[in-house]
Chain A
Amino acid sequence: MLILDGLSKTYKTGDAALADVSLTVPKGQILGLIGPSGAGKSTLIRCINRLVQPTSGKVLLGDVDLVRLGKADLRRQRRRIGMIFQEYALVERLTVMENVLSGRLGYVPFWRSFLRKYPPADIQRAYQLLDRVGLMAHADKRADALSGGQRQRVGIARALAQDPELLLVDEPTASLDPKTSRQIMRLLTEICSERGLPAIVNIHDVPLAQQFMQRIVGLRAGRVVFDGTPEQLTHEALTTIYGAEDWNEMRRGDQEQTNAEEDARNRMAALVQ
C-alpha cells in the first residue's frame, strides 16, 4: 500500500508543481492520473521514487517513509518501485536482455553487473518475463532495433524484473499509435491484476484512462481536484480538471480516429487483394 501525505514540491524557480497532495493507493489498484500538461503529474510520480526531491510531505510505501531516506537506503527502496517511461528510456545500445537484466541492478553487486554475470535465477526470471511480454525471440537484439510497441514491452519487463511492490508509469502510450497503445495498456492492466500490483499511471488520453483504469485522479495546478471511478468522470468533472472545453467533441474526435483507422485498414486490405 502506498500513502502520500501532504506531498508538496516547489522548484527553485518558485513554481509550485505540487501542493499538499494526499492519496492512498491500496494493493492491486490501478490509478490513472490525468490533468493538463504542467499540472504536476510527472513531478508527482518522480517524487515517489525521488528522482525529484519533494519539498515537504511523506511518501509511505508499506511502513517506510521514502522522503527521509539516505542514499544507500533510498537505493534499496527504489528496487521496490518499478518505473515505466514515456519514451521507453531503454539503453538503446544494449541488448534487450541486458535492458531487462538492468532491472536487477539494485540487487547485484557492481562486478556482477559489469561482467554481465547475473545469478542464474535472475536470468531465468528475465527470460520468463520476456516470454510474458511476447519478446522471447528478440532477447539478443539491440534495443534500438525494435519497434515502439516492442520497446515499451521491454520497458515493462525491465520494471517487473525488479520484483516491484509498486509500478509508476509515466505516459506509457504517448509515443505509440492508438492500436499499440491499447495493447500496451491491456498488457499493463493484466500484469497488475496477475500480481496484485498497485500502479500509478500518468495518462493524457482521457478515453484510454476511462477504459482501463479502476480509479481516476485529476490534477490541476498541483492539486487533486477529482478522485473517483471512471464512471464518475463526467463532463463537469473534466471541466474542473481541464477548464472549459467541449468534451463530447473530444470523445467524438476519438471515435472518429478509430473509424478512420478502421477505414484505412479496410482500404489497405482491398488494395492488397
Chain B
Amino acid sequence: MTNSAYPTTWRRPPQIIKNRRWRIAFQLAVLIYLVLAISTVDVNWSRVYDGLERGQRFVMGFLQPDFESRWRDISQGLIESLTMTLTSTVVGVAISIPIGIGAARNLAPRWIYYICRSIIAVSRALQEIIIAIFLVAMFGFGPFAGFLTLSFATIGFIAKLLADDIEEIDESQAEAVRATGASWVQLVNYAVQPQVMPRLIGLSLYRLDINFRESAVIGIVGAGGIGATLNTAIDRYEYDSAGAILLIIIAIVMVAEYSSSYLRKFLQ
C-alpha cells in the first residue's frame, strides 16, 4: 500500500491564543513576571533553618497535642466561639431576609433594590478581619465585637444568594398567585417562600459552618473566641496547646460539615 501522499507530521493546533506572536509574547510575559516575583521573595535562609527546629516542635505538638494544661482557656475560647457563631448566624439570617427580598429585582421597587444591593456590596467587599478591627475599636475587645462582625458578614453572604434565588424563581407560579388577586405579602408567602425556603435553610447551615471557621480568625485582632486563645498559645510558643486547638477546630468543622450536609438532605 502506498501512502506517501499523506503527511508524516502533525502538530496540535493551539487552542486558546491562535496568533503565534501573541502566544510567544504571552509566554514571555509570564516568564518575566515569575522571575521578577520570585526575585522579590527575600528569604533569610539562616532564619528559616533556625525555624526548622521550631517547625519540628510544632509538628510534634500537632501529633502529641496537649489539651490539659490550658484547658480552661481553651474551653473558654470554644464557648465564646460557639455562642458567637450561633447568635451571629441567627441575627445575620434574620436581617438578611428583608434585605434579600429588597434586593430581588422582581419583588422590590427600584430605589429599595439599589439600597439593598449596596448594603450587600459593602458587606461582601470588606473582609471579616477588617470589619473586626473597626468593631473592636468601637465596641472594645471581646466576643460582642466578634458577634457583630460575623452578623455583618452573614448579611452579605445570605442576602446576596437569597436575592439571586428569588430572582430565579419560576415566574409562572408567581404569575398564577398574582392572578388570584393576592396582595404583595400573600405573593411572597405563597409563591416565593415555598420555592426558596429549602435553599435558605441550606444556606444558613452552610453559613453556620463558615461563621465558626471565621470565629477562629477574628480572635487574632481581639474579637474574642478560640482565635484569641490560639494567638496567645502561639505567642507563648506553646505549640502543643496550639496543636490541640487546631485539632479541635478541624474536628468541629468536620462534624459541622458532615451534620449540615446530613441535615440538608433530611430537610429536602
Whether the complex brings A and B within 8 Å at their CB atoms is answered: yes
Q: Which A residues fall within an 8 A CB radius of B?
A: 95, 97-98, 101, 116, 118, 120-121, 123-128, 131, 139-140
Q: Beyond the given A125-B3, A126-B10, A127-B3, please list 17 additional residue pairs across the A-B interface where CB-CB is below 8 A.
A: A97-B10, A97-B12, A98-B12, A101-B10, A116-B12, A118-B10, A120-B9, A121-B8, A123-B9, A123-B10, A124-B3, A124-B6, A127-B6, A127-B7, A127-B10, A128-B6, A139-B10
The smallest beta-carbon distance between A161 and chain B, in angstroms, is 13
Q: Which B residues fall within an 8 A CB radius of A?
A: 3, 6-13
Whether A124 lies near B7 (C-beta < 8 A) is yes
Specify which chain B residues have a CB less than 8 angstroms from the CB of A98 in the assembled complex.
Answer: 12
Specify which chain B residues have a CB less than 8 angstroms from the CB of A128 in the assembled complex.
Answer: 3, 6
The distance in angstroms between the C-alpha atoms of A140 and B13, with both chains bound, is 7
The smallest beta-carbon distance between B3 and chain A, in angstroms, is 5
Interface centre among A116, A127, A139 (most CB of B within 10 A): A127
Specify which chain A residues have a CB less than 8 angstroms from the CB of B13 in the assembled complex.
Answer: 95, 140
Specify which chain B residues have a CB less than 8 angstroms from the CB of A127 in the assembled complex.
Answer: 3, 6-7, 10
Question: Of the candidates A116, A118, A131, which one forms a contact with B6 in the assembled complex, judged by CB atoms under 8 Å apart?
Answer: A131
The distance in angstroms between the C-alpha atoms of A97 and B12, with both chains bound, is 8
Closest residue of chain B to A97 (Cβ to Cβ) is B10
Closest residue of chain A to B8 (Cβ to Cβ) is A120
The distance in angstroms between the C-alpha atoms of A118 and B10, with both chains bound, is 9
The smallest beta-carbon distance between A205 and chain B, in angstroms, is 34
The distance in angstroms between the C-alpha atoms of A273 and B200, with both chains bound, is 58
The distance in angstroms between the C-alpha atoms of A95 and B12, with both chains bound, is 8
The smallest beta-carbon distance between B167 and chain A, in angstroms, is 31
The distance in angstroms between the C-alpha atoms of A125 and B6, with both chains bound, is 8
The distance in angstroms between the C-alpha atoms of A36 and B154, with both chains bound, is 56
The distance in angstroms between the C-alpha atoms of A101 and B9, with both chains bound, is 12
Whether A123 lies near B7 (C-beta < 8 A) is yes
The distance in angstroms between the C-alpha atoms of A140 and B12, with both chains bound, is 7
The smallest beta-carbon distance between A110 and chain B, in angstroms, is 17
The distance in angstroms between the C-alpha atoms of A139 and B11, with both chains bound, is 11
The smallest beta-carbon distance between A118 and chain B, in angstroms, is 8
The smallest beta-carbon distance between A108 and chain B, in angstroms, is 14
Specify which chain A residues have a CB less than 8 angstroms from the CB of B6 in the assembled complex.
Answer: 124-125, 127-128, 131
Specify which chain A residues have a CB less than 8 angstroms from the CB of B7 in the assembled complex.
Answer: 123-124, 127
The smallest beta-carbon distance between A186 and chain B, in angstroms, is 22
Specify which chain B residues have a CB less than 8 angstroms from the CB of A139 in the assembled complex.
Answer: 10
The distance in angstroms between the C-alpha atoms of A126 and B6, with both chains bound, is 9
Specify which chain B residues have a CB less than 8 angstroms from the CB of A116 in the assembled complex.
Answer: 10-12
The distance in angstroms between the C-alpha atoms of A125 and B10, with both chains bound, is 12
The distance in angstroms between the C-alpha atoms of A121 and B7, with both chains bound, is 9
Specify which chain B residues have a CB less than 8 angstroms from the CB of A125 in the assembled complex.
Answer: 3, 6
The distance in angstroms between the C-alpha atoms of A120 and B7, with both chains bound, is 8
The smallest beta-carbon distance between A103 and chain B, in angstroms, is 14
The smallest beta-carbon distance between B11 and chain A, in angstroms, is 8
Pull 9 A–B residue pairs with CB atoms less than 8 Å apart, ordered by A.
A97-B12, A101-B10, A118-B10, A123-B9, A124-B6, A125-B3, A126-B10, A127-B6, A128-B6
The smallest beta-carbon distance between B7 and chain A, in angstroms, is 6
The smallest beta-carbon distance between B95 and chain A, in angstroms, is 45
The smallest beta-carbon distance between B234 and chain A, in angstroms, is 44
The smallest beta-carbon distance between A104 and chain B, in angstroms, is 12
Specify which chain B residues have a CB less than 8 angstroms from the CB of A95 in the assembled complex.
Answer: 12-13
Specify which chain A residues have a CB less than 8 angstroms from the CB of B3 in the assembled complex.
Answer: 124-125, 127-128
Closest residue of chain B to A101 (Cβ to Cβ) is B10
Interface centre among A121, A124, A131, A139 (most CB of B within 10 A): A124
Closest residue of chain B to A98 (Cβ to Cβ) is B12
The smallest beta-carbon distance between B8 and chain A, in angstroms, is 4
The smallest beta-carbon distance between A117 and chain B, in angstroms, is 10
Specify which chain A residues have a CB less than 8 angstroms from the CB of B11 in the assembled complex.
Answer: 116
Closest residue of chain A to B11 (Cβ to Cβ) is A116
The smallest beta-carbon distance between B197 and chain A, in angstroms, is 38
Nearest 7 A-B pairs (CB), nearest first? A120-B8, A127-B6, A124-B6, A140-B13, A123-B10, A128-B3, A124-B8
Closest residue of chain B to A126 (Cβ to Cβ) is B10
Specify which chain B residues have a CB less than 8 angstroms from the CB of A118 in the assembled complex.
Answer: 10
